[in-house]
Amino acid sequence: MKDLVMKYLERFVLDSQSKSELINKIMELQERDKEWFDKYSNLYKSKKESEKRLEERIKEYADRMEEVFKMHAQGQVITEEYKRLVDLKLGNTYNINATWIDKIVFVLKAAGRPMRSAEIIQVLLKNDMTFRTLTDHQKGLSAHLTKALKYGRIIGTKQKGQNGYVFSLPE
């Protein structure tokens, strides 16, 4: 009811005012609305600018993160390469560039037990590309086993009832 009364009173007040007063009232309202519109426009522009800056910072951070990930990956590759080199120098890994006798000693050391030549051949086939290219693996390994026995790098023991030798490292 109160709203209805206010509506009629506003209408009555507007009807009772002169044309110049109404024009002044409209000008005041337009000026007020213009101020509000300007404030809103400025707020909208600043919001857009802050969004742009935020997007630029996000892109910058994404680029930085990508660069850091690349550097981390490169660091890991370098670390793995250093570990591999250290393992090669310490004799903890199979070195394809080592001599055949060193390869045989490494295989026996890595196995931690005496091995027959057929077992050594299986390991060399898995790890050495040049050994795979030999036409007769047994003959290729036999000469190197004989040299290793001659130089005392390995020991060959004959088992009863078995063909061939069982090779082990000297104690």
Q: What pLDDT shows up at residue 162?
A: 81
pLDDT band for position 20 (50/70/90)? confident
**Residues linked to residue 130 through DSSP beta bridges, in sequence order:** none
Contact 127, 78 (CB under 8 A): no
Q: What is the mean pLDDT of the chain?
A: 83
pLDDT at 140 over 80: yes
110 or 146, which is more confident: 146
- Sign of the CA dihedral running 113, 158, 105, 138: negative
Q: Using an 8 Å Cβ cutoff, are 170 and 152 in contact?
A: yes
Q: Write out pLDDT tens, residues 145-162.
A: 999 999 999 999 988 888
In sequence order, the β-bridge partners of residue 32 are: none
Distance in angstroms (rounded) separating the CA atoms of residues 53 and 134 = 66
Tens-digit pLDDT profile for residues 56-70: 999 999 999 999 999
Mean pLDDT value of segment 105-121: 89
Residue with tokens 């045989």: 104
62-66, 76-80, 81-85, 104-108 — most confident range:
62-66
pLDDT of residue 96: 74
Least confident of 12-16, 61-65, 74-78, 117-121: 12-16
Amino acid residing at 126: K
Residue linked to tokens 């519109």? 37
**E-assigned strands of 59-148?**
115-116
SS3 157: strand
DSSP 8-state code for residue 40: H
Strands 165-168 and 155-158: antiparallel
